[in-house]
Structures are given as C-alpha cells and as structure tokens.
Amino acid sequence: MNKKRILSGMRPTGKLHLGHLVGALSNWVKFQDEYDCYFMVADWHALMSEYENPLNLKENILDNVADWLACGVDPEKSNIFIQSQVPLHLELYFILSLVTPLGLLERCPTYKEQLREITNRDLSTYAFLGYPVLQAADILLYKAEAVPVGEDQLPHLELARQIVRKFNHLYKTECLIEPNALLTKTTRLLGTDGRKMSKSYNNYIGLSEEPEVIRKKVQSMVTDPKRIRFSDPGHPDQCNVCNYYRVFFPEAAEEINEACVKSKIGCTDCKKELAGKIIDLLAPIQKKRQDILKDKGYIEKILSLGQAKAGKIAEKTIQEVRQILKLI
C-alpha cells in the first residue's frame, strides 16, 4: 500500500513530440504501478517565459493531457492536475522565497544559460529568477520523495534540496522533505537536424503528426556525413537515423547497423523504413488520442479529480508550514 510519492511536471508550451515520449512520458507510464504518482501541468512555469504573448494555455493543456493519456498515463493509477488550479503552490513559493538566498538563484546554471541563449524574449524578470523556487514548491508541497526528471533539471532539484535544508534548519523542523532525482536511463533523442529536439528549432516529430509529414521530416534527417555514395561504408554510430532505430526499434537496429556498414542499404531506404516504423508506432497513440478527445468532458473530469486530490495534500502541508512561521 504505502507507495512512495513522486511528482513530475511538464510545461504546456506547445505540441508534444517524440522527445517528450522517450524523455518523460514513457518513464511516467513505467512508474505508475510502483509509485503514488502526481503528474502536473506546469502552466505558471510556462507563463514565466511566455508572459509577453500568453500561449493558448487552455488549448495546450487539453492537447498535452490528451497525449499523456494516449501514451499510457492512466488516471486510475496517477493523479493528473494543473498547477494553477492548486493556488497553494504560490503560497509555498512565497514562503520558500523568504529563505532562498539570492545568490543561489543567480548562480543557477539553467538560469544563466537561458538568459544567454533565449534572446527573442525578455527573461530578466523577477519571476523568471524564481523559476526553481516555484518548482521546489511544486515538489515540497506534496512531500514527494522523488522526482522523475531529465539531467537538465538536476540543478533545480539540487536547489530544492538546499531550500529544504535551509528551511528545516532555520525553523528546527523536519516538515519538508529533501526530494531525490529519479534519473532514468537517459535516452538522448536529437531533432531531425541533429540538434536537441525542440519546438523552437522546428526539428521535432510531433506525436500527433500526419504520416505524410513524418515521412517528409524523416527523409530530411541528417545522416552520416562521410557516406556520400551508396558504396561508401556508413558509420551508423555517428548517424542520427541509426540512433532513432536504437531508441525506438532496438530489435531492428542491429540489422540496420550491419547493412549500413556493409553498404547494403542506402540512406533513402533506411529512412523510408524508419518513417514507416514511426508511423506504426504512433498510430495506436493517435487513435487513442482521438477517442479521448471525442468525449469533451473527459479530460476536464480527470483534471478536477486530480485537483481535489492534490489540493487535499497541499492543504495539509501548508497548514504545517503556516504554523511553523507562526502565521494564522
């Protein structure tokens, strides 16, 4: 019965793609039996970087949650909720920010990197600096013992742990719990151009992409640059196409590998085959997604159940925290 509680979140910034499937969703699905899972739509976090042109959040949320469910996140096993529907996240965020040293946030590597790299938006705001504090609140509010995250989120998790230590030490309490990272075997999936798969690079293959588009995108993938003529032996270990085989179709990867090295298959055919396999992989997911979206109220019902359940736990933690700070 007493399963460990875990929490993870995803920002609803747009359509989900294969990177989300291998990086997060497939792990979430695996954790559902072993842990008491809370999966959260981090809409406030999305707004922190998109506040200038607020996204169509409601639409994105329904779209993303439909994909979560279609990929196998099961509302019977896991709690799915929207961050902004549990406003207590903000109260804890404020309280944590009381004890969070400014330097810790300013030195956070993800913060520095994003300020440097994202130049089409103004991210030098008070809220964006506090991004990891809200993330800490998301986790600590539920006393989650572990957080399934990719490596890119490790600095945020470390910050959450530091905040817990500071808070518990300062107020001589054990109220908050240091969360551990639930690091999953990192499957690195690059975009079609060989860079990190991302919406902003337009190099992704979406989960609800049409077969024709998938074929086109796969055909545009960068291959082994040393293989120019058919007769040139390929270097599949340096080829992104082959990496897709390894990640999604390990049973076929071996054969492709050999055929490539021995120049028995050309890149066009190799990609044609890959596209067909991705289309087949996504077909049942897309079918399930369509079925889910047919029932208009279904997702909203799941989200309101999730909100109620999350709200209860959040309420309990916040009561303790208020007492510690001699509020109320």
**Residues of this chain that bind ligand SF4 (CB under 6 A):** 223-224, 227, 234, 236, 239, 241-242, 256, 260, 265, 267, 270-271
Any contact of residue 314 with ligand TRP (CB under 6 A)? no
Tell me the residue number closest to ligand TRP, measured at CB.
9
Which of residues 140 and 299 has its CB atom nearest to ligand TRP in the complex? 140
Any contact of residue 306 with ligand TRP (CB under 6 A)? no
Any contact of residue 307 with ligand TRP (CB under 6 A)? no
Within 106-254, strands assigned E span 146-149, 180-183
In whole angstroms, how large is the CA radius of gyration of the chain?
22
Contacts of 293-298 spanning 24+ positions with Cβ under 8 A:
293/62, 293/66
Pairing between β-strand 79-82 and β-strand 36-41 as defined by DSSP bridges: parallel
Report helix, strand or coil for 89. Answer: helix
Q: Are 24 and 183 in contact (CB under 8 A)?
A: no
Please give the structure tokens belonging to residue 98: 């009381």
Please give the structure tokens belonging to residue 148: 């399934």
Q: Which stretch binds ligand TRP (CB under 6 A): 133-141, 185-193, 195-203, 260-268?
A: 133-141
Per-residue string for binding with ligand TRP, 150-179, x by CB under 6 A? ---x--------------------------
CB 8, min distance to ligand TRP, A: 5
Sheet holding 180-183, edge to edge: 79-82, 36-41, 5-10, 146-149, 180-183
CB 229, min distance to ligand SF4, A: 12
CB 126, min distance to ligand TRP, A: 18
Q: How far is it, in rounded angstroms, from Cα 112 to Cα 195?
A: 20
Residue from 22, 62, 66, 139 binding ligand TRP (CB under 6 A): 139
Q: Could you list the residues that contact ligand TRP (CB under 6 A)?
A: 7-11, 42, 45, 135, 138-139, 147, 149, 153
